[in-house]
Structure 1
Amino acid sequence: MNSRFDGKVAIVTGAGSGIGKAIAWRLAQEGARVVAADISGSEAETAAAFPHAIVPLHCDVSRPEDIDALLSFTEERFGRLDVLYNNAGITGAALRAHEYELEEWDRVMDINVRGAFLAMRGAIRLMLRNGGGNIVNTASVASLISAPGSFAYPPSKGAVIMMTRQAAMEYAREGIRVNAICPGLIRTPILDGAPVGHDVLAQQVPMGRLGEPEEVASLAAFLGSDEAAFITGQGFFIDGGQTSV
């Protein structure tokens, strides 16, 4: 494996499982020092695989004080921040609009939108002091196509795409790139709660299979590296052709 991230410092939110864990591991393999942030406690397991490179930190991304602590810890421990992988998110209740309770709507927006904004805001402040950096947000195919019966999730991920574009334009001349990955049906713990099995879900994908977290991590690593130096403000779909149907 190459060393695209030698000397670089990264934060990965939602690093306790699935895509976030795969990204944290990929960055560690490529030379980065990584702060793996999660609310679940599983961030310690993520870090245990690469104790020389990954440091775990408990973080609720919807709480400004937790984000402030995450960024302060990163700066005090490593002196800088080069890449933010803004991955923490939830799907929320599988309900239609008239069935949604306000508390559940707020919970989805607090984590997926407010949390993404808070992490971006704090990271940008550090990156401006350091002369630049990269942000990769995790959106979803649901930012482009609807997900019937899940009213809060698609709007929240649509907001992530627009925050990505807005920040990319605002900071392009200050050395900060901002892009988004838009995964489709990926084999993560989130799918374990689906009302149908993985084999049924795979039938929705033109390639006939689910994606793997490591495949998403490969795209995320590219976007956060200097190889993507002329790419900003974009959302990249990694969905086995799902959105082309």
Structure 2
Amino acid sequence: MPGPRFTDKIIFITGGSSGLGAEASALFIDEGAHVFIMDLAEKGILTRLGEEKATFFQGDVGKPEDCESAIRACVDKHGRLDILFHNAAQPTPMTTVPFHDLVQFQQIINTNLCGLFYLARIAIPQMQVQKKGVIVATASTSALGGEYGLASYAASKAGMLNLMRTMALDHARENIRINAICPGYMPTPMTEGLGELVKVVEESIPQGRGGDPTEVARAALFLASEDASYMTGQALIVDGGWSAHSGAPNLLKYVPQQFRYDEK
């Protein structure tokens, strides 16, 4: 059985106090890492993870000064930064562009897209000094195509993908790998507002359910690890088959049973 992949690695995680970020933090620690969590609130994550392996920094990734302060604090504490996992995100209101609040639109772009830029511009020089580093960003299946009523969120996540790809090209020969995960629907604090719509969403997923945050976190750990040493500039989709669907109706439901080869 292979040993831990992140022994003594320093992992900087945004949005690490809950949801996907919290599950990823726990998995990183299970594999030997120290995690430095930047989030708006601590939410008891240090009690869960243990303060000997986790550090919390209160900050807003939508503010460049907070991002710089957090990265500097991480390096000051640990002497290095091996992996940056930008996972923090702000959800979008479900509305069309003419009715979208301007301030809220800018906040979503700042958190989701600009946050990656703000963090990378400080983290990459540190990784250049170390001659090695990894960045993983949480994008979304919303980055892969248009989605009804999600203008700001889809735009921010699509922008993240091309920012990720461009940085990956710029720094590939410096031994700095940069990739993204694209989760589909999963039950987290950010998706709690869906209420009864969850059933509608889950019925549209080929596997018939939302993803567990731990399942998606494992994909992030894969990209962060040496198991993905020849991957950079890639978007890894983790969505239960959602994005594999062309959008066409499932006509198989209407084919008479005697003609269905899959049941013979």
TM-score category, normalised to shorter length: over 0.9
Aligned residue runs from structure 1 range 204-215, under 5 A: 204-215=204-215
**Amino acid corresponding to residue 39 of structure 2 in structure 1:** D
- Distance in 2 (CA, whole Å) between partners of 1:94 and 1:125 is 38
Q: After the TM superposition, which residues 155-166 of structure 1 pair with which residues of structure 2 at under 5 Å, given as runs?
A: 155-166=155-166
Gaps of 5+ in 2: 246-264
Aligned length: 243
Q: Which residue of 1 aligns with 2:81?
A: 81
Contact 1:178 1:233 in 2 (8 A): yes
Q: 2: CA distance between counterparts of 1:194 and 1:180?
A: 25
| CA drift at 1:111 | 0.7
TM-align CA RMSD: 1.2
Runs of 4+ in 1 over 6 A off after TM superposition: none
* TM-aligned CA deviation for residue 195 of structure 1: 4.8
Q: Deviations over 1:159-191 (max 9, x none)?
A: 000011000000000010000000000121122
Q: Distance in 2 between matches of 1:243 and 1:64?
A: 33
Q: What is the CA-CA distance between 1:193 and the residue it aligns to? A: 0.4
Q: TM-score, normalised by structure 1?
A: 0.96
Distance 1:41 1:50 in 2: 12
Aligned-pair CA distance for 1:194? 1.1
User: Which residue identity lines up with residue 104 of structure 2 in the other structure?
Assistant: E
Partner of 1:149: 149
Cα offset, 1:50, TM superposition: 2.1
Where does structure 1 lack aligned partners over 5 or more consecutive residues? none
Give the whole-Å Cα distance in 1 for the aligned partners of 2:172 and 2:212. 31
Give the structure-2-normalised TM-score. 0.89
Q: Which amino acid in 1 is paired with 2:216?
A: V
Q: What's 2:19 paired with? A: 18
Larger CA deviation: 195-204 vs 33-42: 195-204
On the 8 A contact 1:86/1:120 being kept in 2, the answer is no
Tell me the equivalent position of 2:47. 48
Q: Distance between the aligned counterparts of 1:147 and 1:188, measured in 2? A: 20
For residues 1-245 of structure 1, what are the structure 2 equivalents within 5 Å?
2-42=3-43, 45-51=44-50, 52-245=52-245
Fraction of identical pairs, as percent: 33
1:152 is paired with a residue whose SS is helix
Shift of 1:99: 0.8
Matched residue SS, 2:75: helix
Greater displacement, 94-103 / 202-211? 94-103
Deviations 1:90-143 (A, max 9, x none): 122211011112211111111111111101111111111111100000000000
